[in-house]
Amino acid sequence: MATLIDLRRRIRSVKNTRQLTKAMKSVSAAKLKRAQNQVYQTRPFSQKLASILSNIRARTPDLKHPFFNEREEETVDIVIITGDKGLCGAFNSNTLKFAESKVKELKDEGKIVNTIILGKKGYDFLRFKGGEIKDYFIGIFMKLDYIKSVEISDKIISDFLEGKSDAVYMIYNKFHSVSKTEIAFEKLLPIGEMEEIEEEEMLEYEFEPSPEEIFESLLPIYLKNYFYRVLLESAASEHAARMVAMDLATRNASDMIDSLTLTMNKIRQAAITKEILEITTATEAMKK
């Protein structure tokens, strides 16, 4: 049975842990707010750009571009986006389990699958499992910026254009709200059917320069912006998961402190009652 000294030490230790988890929750909340704002600021530009490209493509059905070239998928690149740190609940483990199932599914179809890892947790997991890693990027979420995102996306796009991969897929956590994120599996390249434009919504454009030149200029911007938005969504999802996990840990620590304090008070009460009983017994014995 635990002694009073042991209980005091455990209570002090849990209080220190609670202080740490509470601080981590506050830090994650601040980072989430910033990441959430970046996601909301990036989405309108991406959506508007996609709308413009869809409109132009709808009016120019014979338009050709390497990014739209469908070919038999023999070699596939999968970009798996995880976090660089832990203590965020099942954020990383769920993403990696989903990625494992997708990789197995594609391999069962007879495809060669190359994995590109973003995030230390994903890299450590695949290295431990002995999986083959085509490329990896660690520490990008410490200070996520557009320039670093473009460097990574340029490399992935270049491999596709050079024929080193027939398709590129992305696995990441899509951010909806603090309490809701979902693991997404989306094709980056080749670009499939873009959003359909209703006939009455189609705008008239006078092309200067030609539609081909416009696509040549806008499509790389669209893809790079899309890739950057995916990274922002994943970062926001990670901060949300960590904030929720730290909030739960803080509440669990408070419950444990209450339970330990109750146990300690019961032991102290029992000890006091025992001492009073001994004093009473001794007093009665002396009277006799």
**Helix, strand, or coil here: 126?**
helix
At 22, the pLDDT band (50, 70, 90 cuts) reads very high
pTM of the model: 0.84
- pLDDT of 248 higher than 90: yes
Q: For the chain, which residues make up each domain, given as ranges?
A: 26-244
Instruction: Report the pLDDT value the prediction gives residue 67, as an integer from 0 to 100.
Output: 81
> Model confidence over 37-95: pLDDT tens digits?
988 888 888 888 887 787 777 777 677 777 877 888 889 999 999 999 988 988 999 99
CATH architecture of the domain with residue range 26-244: 3-Layer(aba) Sandwich (3.40)
Length of the chain: 288
Separation of alpha carbons 242 and 87, rounded Å? 6
Q: How many CB atoms lie within 10 A of CB 254?
A: 14
- Identify the pLDDT of residue 199: 46
Q: Do 102 and 226 form a contact (C-beta atoms < 8 A)?
A: no
Helix (H) or strand (E) holding 9: helix 4-59
* Integer Cα distance of 57 and 203 in angstroms: 12
* CA 44 – CA 23 distance, rounded (Å): 33
Catalytic residue among 88, 152, 241, 260: 88
Is 116 in contact with 158 (CB distance < 8 Å)?
no
Task: State residue 207's pLDDT score.
Answer: 65
What confidence tier does 231 reach under pLDDT thresholds 50, 70, 90?
A: very high
CA 286 – CA 288 distance, rounded (Å): 5
107 is catalytic: no
Q: What does the pLDDT look like over 186-215, one tens digit per residue?
A: 998 888 665 544 444 555 666 677 767 777
Choice between 3 and 35, residue whose per-residue pLDDT is larger? 35
Mean pLDDT across the stretch 123-151?
Answer: 88
Number of Cβ within 10 Å of residue 2's Cβ equals 13
| 178: pLDDT strictly greater than 60 | yes
The residue ranking higher by pLDDT, 177 or 19, is 19
Average pLDDT over residues 9-30: 92
pLDDT at 198: 46
Spatial CA neighbour of 156 closest among 251, 231, 91: 231
Dump pLDDT digits (tens) for 89-120: 889 999 999 999 999 999 999 999 999 999 99
pLDDT averaged over every residue in the chain:
86
